[in-house]
Amino acid sequence: MTLARLVWRPAVAVLLTAAAVPTLTAGRASAAASGHRAVDDRRVVQATRVSSTPGASGLSVHRTSRASVGATNTAVAYVTCDRCRAVALSFQVVIAQRSPGEVAAGNVALAVTEGCHDCESLAMAYQVVVTTDGRTHISARGHRMLDSVRSRLRALSQSHRPVEEIRTQADSLMAVVTQVVAEELRTRPTVRSRERWERTEPGARGPSRGGRES
C-alpha cells in the first residue's frame, strides 16, 4: 500500500463576534452521482441559557473508493448568554482508496459570541485526508485508539478547563488520529479462488485435467 497523499487541515476559531450563525445539521454522507462520494460532518453547539457550558464533539472516519471525493468538516460554537461558554470539536478522517482522480476538501471553524458578558466560545475543526493506491482498512489496534480519542474528545468538550488547555489537549488527540492513519492502515488483499482437477476414465489413454479461477 502506498499513501499517495496525507493532508492535515486544522482550523481554530476563538471568541469571534458576529450577528448571526448559520443553520447547520448533523454530518452526512451521500453519493449523488455514481462516481462521486460526498461527506459532510458538522458539530454545532449553542449556549443560550445563563451560566450554561454546552459542548459538542465527534470523530468521523470515512472510507471510499469513488473516483471523485468531496469532504467538508465544520465546527461551530455560538454563545448569546452571560457567563456562558460553548465548545465545538470536530475531527474528520477521509480515506480515499484506489487513487481517486479528484479530491476536494474544506475545513471550517466558527466561534461566535453575541450580546453577552463574561462569555467565550471555542470551535476547532481538524481534517485528515489520505489517498491510497489500493483498498485499505484500519487495524484492530487503530480502532481501539480511535475509540479512546472519541471518549476523551467528548469529555474535553464538556469540561470546564481553560480554553488554551482545551486547544492543547485537542492538538494532542489529533496527533493520535494522524498516528493511526500513518501507522495503522492495512492493505486489504484481493482473494482469488483457484480450482484444479484431474480425472481418469476407463478406456482413456491418459488423465484429463482442468481447472478454473475466480
Show me where the domains of the chain are located. 3-189
Q: What per-residue confidence (pLDDT) applies to 192?
A: 47
Count of CB atoms situated within 10 Å of the CB of 67: 16
Distance between CA atoms of residues 184 and 110, nearest Å: 31
Predicted confidence at residue 188, as pLDDT, reads 60
* Distance between CA atoms of residues 80 and 142, nearest Å: 39
Residues 109 and 76: their CA atoms lie apart, in Å, by: 6
CA–chain centroid gap for 92, Å, is: 2
197: enclosing H helix or E strand: strand 194-199
For position 138, what pLDDT does the model report?
A: 94
Rounded to an integer, the average pLDDT of 88-97 is 93
- pLDDT surpasses 50 at 23: no
Percent of the chain past pLDDT 70, that is, above it, reads 71
Banded model confidence at residue 204, pLDDT cuts 50, 70, 90: low
Average pLDDT of every residue of the chain: 80
Q: What is the pLDDT of residue 209?
A: 56
Kindly tell me if the per-residue pLDDT of 144 is higher than 50.
yes
